[in-house]
């Protein structure tokens, strides 16, 4: 065993009913390095991390920590040995405060044994300062955005002062600014000797932060490389077993007339804004965390109280009070929070795929046709390449990326007139991203207008016909596809909209 290795895996294998998730995997981690692990959804990444974090036990193979054999019996045991994991699916308790979540079961106490709130909040504020996050330690996590929750999850792991920190898709909801702060903290901890296993579908992040990268495909190692030995194209080819070209695709039809408009009047806490969407258009909405992108989407469809949003759809006026009303009119919202708001985790893939459209499979007597539902679910599994041995498998048992595909299948199956997608490729691998982009293109070609909210600027630039930039709950800039650049979008999002306009026609 090499002395420079803090962690080694040899021949790790894990089976589930009907599938071998991890197949004789060898992996090592050096002190003070960032070792990236990439692969498509279903490649075995999360299963492997669950083994390292003590969530699962391997069926065979050996683990070595500091050159000594070890087997973690549970998460607490892994933690005692200096391993912390930030899972793709967040584990925070929404009803508890930020401080209570970060120091869950580890709160400082006074001599009598009561929680020392002052010490707890002081320690929490010190952690929050690492991301310059202006959030009260006493605030309930339920009130935070997905991006802020993701940061809290990372801070919870950092608070454990681990020797090994495993990050599974830690930036899926973060803006460019928050990603920069995360990477600054990784670099700082790395210089202090902390080792990282970093999982991400965002390949530019891999080349920015990692020292080495291991590719998993179908549960097996497809190669380990120094970061200077590979590029994005060769990594993608090793991940998917084929070359991917023209990731975002091209417009294949003309954009039609304006048919969907949103007009929000000003109120005590919101500013007026107007939004117009054309038939067959993909309208991108960019902005930093807290800019109001998701909040606007939820107001439009009636998830949050809607007293100012007037909707004009095909010359008919609406104000949706509940999501059921917007769904009935064909305005649907694919949420960024698939775990709490998007999916029925305790129900099957089949049930989720048809949840918004059950009436379609009901006869005149009110009986539901299991045969038709099963056929529709099998078709969705095929079209979205959902990795599951059966459409009757519970959605909660799928990987995050496959859950995202089910969510897409659910809402595209509703035959929408307007489709609002919020972080549509969150936690999805590069091969599946290409498929999702193609599906969105096909929907737009059929005349459906799409509003795409995304923290991934390259995605917004690559897919959108027109881009709106939000700041402080209002639109501050608009760019067409030809003039939009990352620099202009970031300038507008950070309050420099006038400077962004002056850059029109200039190269980055």
The CATH number of whichever domain residue 431 belongs to comes to 3.40.50.300
Please tell me the distance from the alpha carbon of residue 284 to that of residue 461, in angstroms, as a whole number. 8
Please name the residue that has the structure tokens 């995304």: 454
Q: Which DSSP state fits 250?
A: -
Please tell me the distance from the alpha carbon of residue 235 to that of residue 244, in angstroms, as a whole number. 11
Same domain assignment for residues 205 and 315: no
CA 189 to chain centre: 24
Write out residues in the chain with pLDDT < 50, as ranges: 1-3, 505-508
Same domain assignment for residues 355 and 480: yes
Same domain assignment for residues 233 and 304: no
Same domain assignment for residues 150 and 276: no
Q: Give the tens place of pLDDT for each residue, 368-419.
A: 888 889 999 999 898 888 888 899 999 988 877 788 889 989 998 888 999 9
User: Is residue 508 included in any domain, yes or no?
Assistant: no
pLDDT value, residue 39: 85
Same domain assignment for residues 415 and 289: yes
Q: What are phi and psi of 173, to 5 degrees?
A: -120, 5
Closest CA to 198 of 38, 44, 83: 38
Contact 482, 450 (CB under 8 A): no
Distances (CA, A) of 364 to 280, 353, 414: 34, 22, 20
User: Is residue 252 included in any domain, yes or no?
Assistant: no
Same domain assignment for residues 218 and 77: yes
If phi over 0 gives left and psi between -120 and 50 gives alpha, with beta otherwise, what is residue 447?
A: left
Same domain assignment for residues 265 and 232: no
Please name the residue that has the structure tokens 């045991």: 77
Reading the block at residue 221, the tokens are: 């190692």
Pairing status of strand 164-168 against strand 83-86:
parallel
Residue 254, classified by CB atoms within 10 Å of its CB into exposed (0-12), middle (13-18) or buried (19+), is exposed
Q: Per the confidence metrics, is the pTM higher than 0.75?
A: no
- Domain stops at, among 195, 211, 240: 240
Which spans in 210-362 are helix H?
232-240, 293-301, 323-328, 349-354
Please tell me the distance from the alpha carbon of residue 291 to that of residue 450, in angstroms, as a whole number. 20
- Domain stops at, among 213, 240, 267: 240
- Domain stops at, among 207, 240, 273: 240
Please tell me the distance from the alpha carbon of residue 393 to that of residue 399, in angstroms, as a whole number. 12
Contact 423, 463 (CB under 8 A): no
Reading the block at residue 8, the tokens are: 């080694």
Same domain assignment for residues 35 and 167: yes
Q: What are phi and psi of 40, to 5 degrees?
A: -70, 165
Distances (CA, A) of 200 to 90, 155, 490: 15, 18, 22
User: Is residue 28 included in any domain, yes or no?
Assistant: yes
Please tell me the distance from the alpha carbon of residue 98 to that of residue 120, in angstroms, as a whole number. 10
User: Is residue 417 included in any domain, yes or no?
Assistant: yes
Count the domains in the chain.
2
For the chain, the average pLDDT equals 87
Same domain assignment for residues 349 and 283: yes
User: Is residue 442 included in any domain, yes or no?
Assistant: yes
pLDDT value, residue 436: 85
Q: Which residues of 150-162 are buried (b: 16+ CB within 10 A; e: fewer)?
A: bbbbbbbbbbeeb
Same domain assignment for residues 332 and 458: yes
Same domain assignment for residues 344 and 262: yes
User: Is residue 250 included in any domain, yes or no?
Assistant: no
User: Is residue 352 included in any domain, yes or no?
Assistant: yes
Please tell me the distance from the alpha carbon of residue 340 to that of residue 472, in angstroms, as a whole number. 25
Same domain assignment for residues 307 and 336: yes
Please tell me the distance from the alpha carbon of residue 320 to that of residue 301, in angstroms, as a whole number. 6
Pairing status of strand 309-313 against strand 282-287:
unpaired
User: Is residue 245 included in any domain, yes or no?
Assistant: no
pLDDT value, residue 508: 33
Residue 419, classified by CB atoms within 10 Å of its CB into exposed (0-12), middle (13-18) or buried (19+), is buried
Domain range holding 321? 258-502
């Amino acid at each position: 065993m090499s002395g420079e290795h803090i962690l080694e895996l040899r021949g790790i294998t894990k089976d589930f009913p009907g599938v071998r998730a991890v197949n004789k995997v060898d992996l090592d981690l050096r002190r003070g390095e960032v070792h990236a692990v990439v692969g498509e959804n279903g490649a075995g990444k999360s299963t492997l991390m669950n083994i390292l974090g003590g969530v699962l036990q391997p069926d065979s193979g050996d683990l070595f920590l500091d050159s000594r054999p070890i087997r973690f019996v549970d998460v607490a045991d892994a933690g005692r040995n200096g391993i912390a994991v930030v899972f793709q699916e967040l584990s925070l308790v929404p009803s508890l405060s930020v401080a209570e979540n970060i120091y869950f079961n580890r709160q400082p106490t006074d001599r009598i044994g009561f929680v020392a709130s002052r010490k707890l909040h002081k320690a929490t504020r010190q952690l929050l300062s690492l991301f310059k996050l202006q959030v009260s330690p006493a605030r309930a996590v339920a009130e935070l955005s997905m991006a802020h929750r993701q940061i809290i999850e990372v801070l919870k792991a950092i608070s454990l002062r681990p020797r090994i920190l495993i990050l599974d898709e830690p930036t899926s909801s973060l803006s460019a600014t928050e990603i920069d702060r995360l990477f600054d903290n990784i670099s700082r901890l790395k210089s202090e000797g902390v080792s990282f296993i970093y999982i991400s579908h965002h390949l530019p992040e891999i080349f920015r932060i990692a020292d080495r990268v291991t590719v998993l495909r179908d549960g097996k190692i497809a190669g380990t490389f120094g970061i200077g030995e590979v590029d994005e194209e060769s990594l993608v080819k090793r991940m998917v077993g084929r070359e991917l070209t023209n990731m975002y695709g091209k417009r294949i039809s003309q954009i039609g007339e304006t048919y969907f408009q949103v007009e929000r009047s000003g109120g005590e806490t919101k500013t007026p804004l107007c939004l117009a969407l054309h038939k067959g258009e993909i309208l991108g909405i960019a902005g930093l965390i807290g800019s109001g992108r998701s909040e606007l989407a939820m107001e439009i469809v009636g998830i949050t109280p809607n007293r100012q949003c007037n909707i004009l759809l095909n010359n008919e006026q609406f104000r949706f009070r509940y999501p059921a009303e917007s769904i009935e009119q064909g305005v649907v919202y694919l949420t960024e929070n698939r775990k709490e708001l998007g999916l029925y985790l305790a129900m099957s893939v089949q049930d989720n795929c048809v949840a918004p459209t059950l009436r379609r499979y009901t006869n005149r007597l009110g009986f539901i046709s299991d045969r038709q539902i099963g056929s529709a679910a099998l078709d969705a599994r095929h079209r979205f390449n959902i990795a599951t041995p059966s459409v009757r498998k519970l959605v909660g048992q799928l990987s995050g990326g496959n859950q995202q595909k089910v969510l897409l299948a659910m809402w595209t199956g509703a035959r929408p007139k307007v489709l609002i997608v919020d972080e549509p490729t969150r936690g999805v691998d590069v091969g599946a991203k290409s498929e999702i982009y193609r599906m969105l293109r096909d929907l737009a070609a059929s005349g459906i207008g799409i509003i795409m909210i995304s923290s991934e600027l390259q995605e917004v630039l690559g897919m959108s016909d027109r881009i709106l930039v939000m700041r402080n709950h209002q639109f501050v800039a608009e760019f067409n596809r030809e003039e939009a650049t990352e620099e202009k979008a970031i300038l507008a999002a950070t309050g420099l909209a006038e400077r962004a306009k002056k850059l029109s026609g200039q190269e980055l």
